Each structure stands twice: as C-alpha cells, then as structure tokens.
Amino acid sequence: MCPLTKKSSIGLIILAAGASSRMGKPKQLLPFSGHSLIQHMVESGLTSRCFPVVVVLGANASLIKLEIAELPVFVTENPQWADGMGSSIRAGMEMLLTVNPHVEGVLIMLCDQPYVKATLLNHFIEEYQTTRKPLIASSYADTLGVPAFFHKMYFPVLQQLTGQEGARRIIASASEVHTIPFPEGKVDIDTPEDYLNLSADSKTDVL
C-alpha cells in the first residue's frame, strides 16, 4: 500500500460474504496475481483514496479473515449472509458509519471482480468531486452495476436493503445515474470455468 496516497472522505465496502456455491470452494481464497483474490481486492481498495475500507465476511469467515488479518481494513462478519446481499450491505454500512459517521459517500464493490483496481476507484472519487453526482455506476455488458458510488443521501436506502436486493436495485430505480465505462466489469468469478478463463488471460496459476 502506498502510504502517501491522500485519502478522501469516501468509504469503500468490499462484499465478500458469499458461500461460492457454484465454485465449490471459497473463491475469495483463489490465487490471483500473486495473492489470494481477497487480498488482491483489498489491496486495490487500500491503495486507492478510499477511507475507511470495510470488508464484509460471512461464509468461511474464519478462513478468509486470516488472509487479510495483517491489512489495515475494518472487517465485519454478517451472520445473516445467507439471506442475501442486502444484509451484507447493511452490515457494511453499519461498520462504515461506526468508523466514520461523517463519511461523505461510499463505493460498493464485489470481491470477485478481479479487474477492479485503485485507479478505477479513484476515478469514481474524482468524478464525484467534479460532477457532484450523487450516484455513479459502472457501465459494462449493456448494464449498470458495481463498483458504484452512493452519496450519503442514499445511506438510508442502503441501510434498509433486504434479501437478495443489492446495489443494482437502487441504481435501476434512480431517476439519474452518472456512469463510468468499465468493460472489464463483466468479468467476475462464479464458476470453475470463469476462473480457468481468468487464469488463461492473466497467466494465474489455478488451485
């Protein structure tokens, strides 16, 4: 992590609570770019201007927590992770506002989008600071999704998500969404085939 990076008042929530049922093993622990996938994603967050960086764990939390134990992130465990992504966003928001009640906004990202880098996260922050748009989403594969930025005006909605409702539900219902092209966002790691394709592209060793 670069200690000289000037931090912003924008927090980051990394959602990593899923059980990886389609993968058959915790995808958060898969090797990628010389680290585990969760380490890689957390490092992207830490080298960005986001602060604080919150990681939400659920299934396999004890194993995954060991991977990031030495990193300066705020880890929260969501005991209701099986209820769906909405509960994990709520858990992340609770930790975020405990660490910094005055945070100006939040970026939400998933742990299985390997091409999310600090430069992209910083781009979101710069776009917000330039445009003052309260909702900024990634654009890829003919859809809008995460990573996405939410101004604090959206915090009450984020804190009330339930079940499988995620950030995309808020994005879809918003009257105006500013977008940032992120074509690599279509790459996520859900199945062994996804991981093999990623490994072929990035020369990453598979388990």
Calpha distance 128→179 (Å, rounded): 11
84 is written with which tokens? 């769906």
Q: Check residue 143 and give its pLDDT.
A: 94
CA distances from 140 to 22, 48, 107, 137, 186 (A): 23, 21, 17, 10, 6
CATH architecture of 10-202: Alpha-Beta Complex (3.90)
Calpha distance 179→16 (Å, rounded): 24
pLDDT in tens, the chain (207 residues): 444 568 999 999 999 999 999 999 999 999 998 999 999 999 999 999 999 999 999 999 999 999 999 999 999 999 999 999 999 999 999 999 999 999 999 999 999 999 999 999 999 999 999 999 999 999 999 999 999 999 999 999 999 998 888 898 899 999 999 999 999 999 999 999 999 988 776 554 433
Mention every residue, 6+ apart, whose C-beta is less than 8 A from residue 126.
none
10 Å CB burial of residue 62 (0-12, 13-18, 19+) is exposed
Domain extent listing, the chain: 10-202
Which pTM value belongs to this model? Answer: 0.93
